[in-house]
């Protein structure tokens, strides 16, 4: 499983993107897009809005979730995930959004 090295520079770049989006009047930002295969249930829990959907994440999506939980949720940021692409009517990519306000 491949993970991203979380450096102070990456964190600051991410925070700058959030601030820029807020300055433009946006209230959420897509922060990661990944194939449904990076969910142990192929996105079923996310698609159905089930509690505990985050437990199905693996790899980089799981890593991002843990960073959000540790660093952003205490600051009031919310996280949502949804299937954002439906090729031939079947789940495709998942998008995770950080939201504020």
What total of structural domains would you count in the chain?
A: 1
Which segments in the chain show pLDDT lower than 70?
Answer: 1-2
d(C-alpha 87, C-alpha 5), whole Å: 31
Please check whether residue 53 lies inside any domain of the structure.
Answer: yes
| φ, ψ of residue 91 in degrees (nearest 5) | -55, 140
Enumerate the β-bridge partners of residue 61: none
Is position 69 within any domain?
yes
CB 6 within 8 A of CB 69: no
- SS3 of residue 2 by DSSP: coil
Q: Which residue range is the domain that position 54 belongs to?
A: 28-99
The pLDDT of residue 2 is 66
In a domain, 12, yes or no: no
Tokens coding 30? 């897509």
**49 located within any domain:** yes
Question: What pLDDT, on a 0 to 100 scale, did the predictor assign at position 5?
Answer: 84
Per-residue pLDDT at 1:
59
83 domain residue, yes or no: yes
User: d(Cα 28, Cα 97) in Å, to the nearest integer?
Assistant: 6
pTM of this prediction? 0.87
């Amino acid at each position: 499983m491949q993970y991203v090295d979380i450096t102070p520079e990456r964190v600051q770049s991410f925070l700058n993107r959030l601030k820029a989006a807020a300055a433009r009047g946006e209230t959420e930002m897509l922060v990661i897009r990944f194939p449904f295969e990076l969910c142990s249930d192929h996105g079923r829990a996310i698609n159905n809005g089930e509690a505990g959907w985050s437990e199905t994440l693996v790899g980089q999506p799981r890593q991002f979730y843990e960073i959000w939980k540790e660093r952003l949720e205490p600051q009031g940021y919310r996280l949502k995930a949804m299937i954002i692409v439906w090729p031939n009517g079947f789940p495709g990519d998942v998008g995770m959004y950080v939201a504020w306000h």
